[in-house]
Amino acid sequence: MSPEPETAATPAEPATLYGVVISDSPGQVVLHPSVEQYLPTIEAMKADGYVSVIDLCGVDYLTHGGRSLPEGVAPERFEIVVNMIAHTAPRRARLRVQVAESDPTVPTLFDLFPGVEAMEREAFDMFGVVFENHPDPTRILMPPDWDGHPLRKDFGVGSVPVQFKGAAAPR
């Protein structure tokens, strides 16, 4: 059972939990903290029994600006999505943090949940979102000298020449 929202949703004021605007998804609460609220929200959730980050990933919304967000949450190009679980009172929660293209930086969760180390590195490697104070901010999937972040929507696809047996060689 999810904790009760701190305020009821009214036309003038959206519902909140841990001081953060929330929305609902079947079976879990969805929190929408700002980058500034991100770490304090995770700390409050840990104190409230959320014991594990089960997933952390990045999303690039460059070509999809029409996503659903609660009133008062401004869409940004990037989003960090964190899924958490509590076991004692079984609960799941998802955080969706809007991250500006002009400053794609969020605090690391490593000190609170060391298991996020590889997930944060992957989000950096694929999307270019920097996790401030991460203990090893190096690439994890791409070669160290790779230029760019391959899952960004504006990353060039490139090509690999293919030759078929018996076909004329390209000129």
Question: Looking at residue 126, what is its pLDDT?
Answer: 97
Domains, the chain, with CATH or none: 16-132 (3.30.460.80)
**Tokens at 48, concatenated:** 């409230």
- Read off the tokens for 27: 């079976």
150/156 Cα distance (integer angstroms): 8
Rg (CA), the chain: 19
Phi and psi, residue 44, nearest 5°: -65, -40
Per-position pLDDT tens, the chain of length 171:
556 677 665 566 889 999 999 998 988 999 999 999 999 999 999 999 999 999 999 999 999 878 899 999 999 999 999 999 999 989 999 999 999 999 999 999 999 999 999 999 999 999 999 999 999 999 999 999 999 999 999 998 776 666 677 767 666
Q: Which pLDDT score, from 0 to 100, does residue 168 have?
A: 72
Side chain identity at 69, as an amino acid letter?
A: L
